Amino acid sequence: MAPTLKPSKTRLTKTKKTVDELIRDSQSLTAFTLPTLDSAEETVDFLKGRKATLAQRISDINQATASLKTAMSCFEKMFEKISPEDQAREQSSYEEYLRGTPSQQQRHYWESSWRKKLKSVYASSTERNWS
């Protein structure tokens, strides 16, 4: 029996959706404004909590991205195992599935944007006059 691409396509689609959702849901974490807090200590505690949340989110995105790379690799291996006739029939699907995965550049942009935001908020909070 010839191998089929359907399980690989399903896994790739689900994994891609997970990565997309994590990135989309994480964008709000980079677009926050620092609330007015009573002291510098409260501000630092708030920022430490925000930093921990962002670090966990980045870890989740990295794990999902690793799963996506594995799914892509499995999809490519399954594609190579099917007959040349099936490969010709599935070629457009193959290109569409691999082209639709998020790039490293998109992930890097998100990570660098939250780091810049966190640094600017932390810098502005430490410059405030806490009398």
Per-residue DSSP letter, 128: S
Q: Which helix (H) or strand (E) holds 61?
A: helix 40-81
- For the stretch 61-101, pLDDT in tens is 889 989 988 988 888 888 888 888 888 888 877 777 777 65
Q: What average pLDDT does the chain have?
A: 77
pLDDT for the residue numbered 54? 86
Query: d(Cα 20, Cα 27) in Å, to the nearest integer?
Result: 11
- For the stretch 95-123, pLDDT in tens is 777 776 555 555 565 566 656 655 665 55
The Cα angle at residue 19 between residues 5 and 89, in degrees rounded to 5: 20
Please say whether the beta carbons of 46 and 35 come within 8 A.
Answer: yes
Query: d(Cα 98, Cα 70) in Å, to the nearest integer?
Result: 12
pLDDT for the residue numbered 1? 44
Share of the chain above pLDDT 90, in %: 3
Average pLDDT, stretch 34-58?
Answer: 85
pLDDT for the residue numbered 131? 37
Query: d(Cα 72, Cα 70) in Å, to the nearest integer?
Result: 5
